[in-house]
Structure 1
Amino acid sequence: MEFETWWLVLIPLIFSLGWMAARLEKRSDASVRGQLPASYFKGVNFLLSEQPDKAIDAFLEVAAIDTHTVELHFALANLFRKKGEIDRAIRVHQFLTTREQITPADREKATYELGVDFLRAGILDRAEQAFHSLSGSDMKAEASRQLLELYELEKAWDKAIAQAHKLREYGADVPAGDIAHFYCELAAQFIDAGDLPKAKAELQNALLTDAQNVRASLLLGDIYFTQNQFEEAIGQWRAAERQNPWYLPLVGPNMWAAFKKLEREEEGIAALLEYCTMYPSIDLLLVLAQAVEETKGPFAAFELLREQVRARPSLLGLDKLLEHQLRGKLDDDRMQDLRLTRELISKHTQRLERYRCQSCGFQAKKFYWQCPGCANWDSIVPRRAEELDFYPVSAKKAAHTPAHTH
């Protein structure tokens, strides 16, 4: 292979560049060691030796000497917050907010982080004060988002509504469904206080914000029901069916009661049967079985349960079927075996009766509109865990999707 002459130039050049880089690196290291104060190295040593309090004192001393170490303090405070040592994070951020040497942007950031510290520590009034102080800053959108979370924690729904609209003005995305729930929560407070006109007004605001908010329709139906306006109540609940029929189990008992008050039992049974067929639910099935038993007797109710369980087998359904079958039976040997079988099934179905969040998997015996685990709205469907395993539906996407029978 012929040796090319340009290598004679390239090899010395590469060697020279490497030598120069090494020299510059040594000078840079020496310069950094000369510029960093001794407190910095003391702080690192304390941190490595798991003496965080002394490390903070040392790093604060660095900040008092050198204004270029602000980011070090932000990183240190963030580390403390992640470890759950909120009091230490507060101490660092409070120190930064009082320094005159830092830039306005860094002071705003320190104030924001301090507000987050207070929020995580549950010191809500101090958190609110910190976030409000940023209303005219470049971090107003971030602070407003934290205020929204704070007001949800405080259940200050009127403030949450105002903050959500402000966030939208800032260009942030706040789902209309979430704001509609804020109105519903406010309406629920008025219902508890007995102020039904104000409750209705807030529910109308909820529907104006999100026409598909099923909760508002259900609550309006409940208000009409308490006012003995049964026709209007049924109308509202039927509107809920058009929005998202999977939430009908929440009003099944009241719907049947309304039909009875109107002396239209056959129509009520037909409606419940249609719902059970199109949107299978063990809760609706139990309401339907009760309605049939009240009007046609226990044998007809048992036949209905058996037919429905055969059409859509489930342990929850089998448990209710056995419970119904064992009513009033004598304790002969066969019945005792049947009771034992039912007891075993009942123990197993306790965990299957829970509601499940489709976002984080949180499970609870009680239904929640907002998941206590992940704080998402509408992530829990009022259907039991076993039903979701066999007939999965989405809380937000199954509004008009009938279930398939098997």
Structure 2
Amino acid sequence: MEFELTLILLGLPLVFVLGWFASRMDVRQLRIENKQAPKAYFKGLNFLLNEQQDQAIDAFIEAVQNDPDTSELHFALGNLFRRRAEYERAVRVHQHLLSRGDLSQDDRHRAQHALALDYLKAGLLDRAEEALLKLEGTRFESKARLALLANYERSRDWENAAKIATLLESSGQGSFRSRLSHYLCEQASTYVATRDTDLARKLLEKAVHTAPDAPRPRIDLARLENQLGDTVAACATLTQAIGAMPAAVSLIAPQLALYAKGCQQGASVLALLKSIYETAPSLDVLDAIVTLEAVSTTSTTSARDWYVRHLEQEPSLVAAAKWIAGEKLEHEQFHPQVQRALDHAVKPLTRYRCAACGFEAKQHFWNCPGCQTWDSYPARRVEEL
């Protein structure tokens, strides 16, 4: 018994020493691991700041392997994959985060939002919608609604887009009245295509009431009225549009001149357009005036005179080309070649340009095909900007 007690007493210091060495080894290993993870993280951050995304991804993967429990590294890695259009890898990273049981509620919502953005960028609109709807009531609610709005616009689901826009406006995210009017106009165009003109008219009238200062509802309504044979009403609608939105007169004038010719209101509309032109010269208003002057029985001003008058106020290559088209040149045999060269030169000047992304088009768009921004096209053409 005394022998066993002696062995135990002798063994205690040995056990203590071994335990001390073991704890030192654990602490040392922990320090090494802790040093490796931040080093890889800062290495990745350095690559990212220098626009070296491939090396940054490799560094973040190394950091994640050294410290798999750090959620911030996963978020950084997932965002990098999305920026590089590697959406499948981004989805896997964010799905892995959501599968972790130790993730905080806020980080879970953050991962859900990141996953929704992955689906949006990948074009998986149904999955994106499902992921975004799960963020209602979270701190990402507003961002999710904006993304959901873009999703519905992209899929041309105008009814749901209107619902989300109404929620955003009611929550103080700004005014969406102009956009709501666009949604109503888009729905109306669908009903016009299916010849349900009564419902189309109701939607357009609602759009006018929703955004009284927006030009599109009245322009589309006038077009529908003209299709239905009520040209007088179409002229009245466009005249009201000019009064409500003077800045859009360049878009309205050509259509108004065309309708005025059909309902014998050319004189009154011509007088209106001339008064507008005096204060705000515009190529489209000028063309509308020339169109009505050509059918006027009392006019003493020719089209060429109007173009010269415009050139006296504005150095316009477009107006010059139209003036030369009706002019007799000294070497008339070369007129077609000269005219063709001028027409080719003025084509880029007659386009419309998006103020948000610079995308140019022959026709005016309410929603830019390049950046999907609403009302980003000025009413005036490139030469007049």
| Same topology, TM > 0.5 | yes
CA distance in 2 between partners of 1:93 and 1:104 (Å)? 14
Partner of 2:31: 33
Verify: 1:196 aligned to 2:193, yes or no: no
**Counterparts of 1:110 and 1:197, CA distance in 2:** 47
1:127-276 correspondence runs (5 A): 127-276=128-277
Q: 1:360 aligns with which of 347, 354, 357?
A: 357
- Pair 1:36–1:311, CA change in 2 (3 A): closer
Distance 1:263 1:207 in 2: 26
**Shift in CA distance, 55/87, structure 1 to aligned 2, threshold 3 Å:** farther
CA RMSD, Structure 1 to Structure 2 (Å): 3.2
| Paired position in structure 1 for 2:295 | 294
Aligned match for 1:322, one of 310, 320, 324: 324
* Cα distance, 1:340–1:53 mapped onto 2, change above 3 Å: closer
In the alignment, the residues of structure 1 paired with residue 59 and residue 82 of structure 2 have an alpha-carbon distance, to the nearest angstrom, of 15
**Secondary structure in structure 2 of the residue aligned to 1:325:** coil
Matches within 5 A, 1:55-134: 61=65, 66=69, 69-134=70-135
TM-score where L is the length of structure 1: 0.76
Please list the CA deviations of residues 329-362 of structure 1 after superposition, one character each: whole Å capped at 9, or x if unmatched.
xxx8522454444333323212211112233333
**CA distance in 2: counterparts of 1:205 and 1:291, whole angstroms:** 32
Are the equivalent residues in 2 in contact too, given 1:245–1:279 (CA < 8 A)? no
Is the contact between residue 63 and residue 70 of structure 1 (CA under 8 Å) also seen in structure 2? no
Aligned match of 1:345: 342
Aligned pair in 2 of structure 1 residues 241, 31: CA closer, same or farther (>3 Å)? Answer: farther
Q: Could you tell me whether the CA contact under 8 Å between 1:43 and 1:54 is conserved in 2? A: no
Answer with 349-358 or 135-144: which moved more.
Answer: 135-144
Larger Rg: 2
- For 1:165, give the aligned amino acid: T
Task: Specify which structure has the bigger relative contact order, considering alpha-carbon pairs within 8 angstroms and separated by 6 or more residues.
Answer: 1
**Which is further off, 45-54 or 337-346?**
45-54
C-alpha deviation, 1:386, in angstroms? 0.8
State the SS of the aligned residue for 2:192.
Answer: helix
1:377 is paired with a residue whose SS is coil
Count how many residue pairs are aligned between Structure 1 and Structure 2.
352
The alignment partner of 2:366 has SS state of coil
Rounded Cα–Cα distance in structure 1 between residues aligned with 2:283 and 2:44: 61
- Distance in 1 of aligned mates of 2:266 and 2:209: 34
Cα shift at 1:298: 11
Alignment of 1:361-380 (within 5 A): 361-380=358-377
User: Structure 1 pair 39/226, CA: closer, same or farther in 2 (3 Å)?
Assistant: same
Q: Which amino acid aligns with 2:382?
A: A
Per the alignment, residue 24 of structure 2 pairs with none
Q: 1:313 to 1:52 in 2, by over 3 A?
A: closer
Alpha-carbon distance change, 238 to 30 in structure 1, aligned in 2, over 3 angstroms: farther
Residue 55 of structure 1: CA displacement?
6.5
Amino acid at match of 1:86: Y
TM-score where L is the length of structure 2: 0.80
Identity of aligned residues (%): 29
Question: How far did 1:85 drift?
Answer: 2.3
Against the structure 1 CA distance between its residues 102 and 295, is the aligned structure 2 distance closer, same or farther, given a 3 Å change threshold? same
- Give the direction of change, closer, same or farther, for the CA distance of 1:333–1:320 in structure 2 (3 Å limit): closer
Contact map agreement 2:165 2:176 (CA 8 A) in 1: no
Residue 309 of structure 1 aligns to which amino acid in structure 2? L
Residue of structure 2 in register with 1:278 after alignment? 279
Checking the alignment, whether the CA contact within 8 Å between 2:215 and 2:245 is kept in structure 1 is yes
State the shift of 1:160 in Å.
0.6
Is the CA contact 1:37–1:62 (under 8 Å) kept in the aligned structure 2? no
**What amino acid is aligned across from residue 300 of structure 1 in structure 2?**
S
Instruction: State whether residues 324 and 339 of structure 2, in contact with CA within 8 Å, keep that contact through their aligned partners in structure 1.
Output: yes
The answer (yes or no) to whether the contact 1:115–1:127 under 8 Å persists in 2 is yes
How far does the alpha carbon of each residue in 1:2-24 deviate from its partner, in whole angstroms, 9 at most, with x for none? xxxxxxxxxxxxxxxxxxxxxxx
Q: Which runs of 5+ in 1 are unaligned?
A: 1-28, 327-331, 389-406
Q: 1:90 to 1:125 in 2, by over 3 A?
A: same
With over 3 angstroms needed to count, the CA separation of the structure-2 counterparts of 1:255 and 1:102, relative to structure 1, is same
Comparing 197-206 and 98-107, the one that deviates more? 197-206
1: CA distance between counterparts of 2:160 and 2:209? 18
Deviation at 1:304, TM superposition (A): 2.9
Partner SS, residue 381 of structure 1: coil
Give the unaligned 5+ runs of structure 2: 1-26
SS, match of residue 352 in structure 1 = helix
The 3-state SS of whatever aligns with 1:382 is coil
> Would you say the 8 A contact 1:115–1:126 is kept in 2?
yes
The whole-number CA distance in structure 1 between the counterparts of 2:166 and 2:185 is: 16
Separation of aligned partners in 1, 2:30 and 2:327: 84
Aligned counterparts of 1:192 and 1:278: Cα–Cα separation in 2? 39
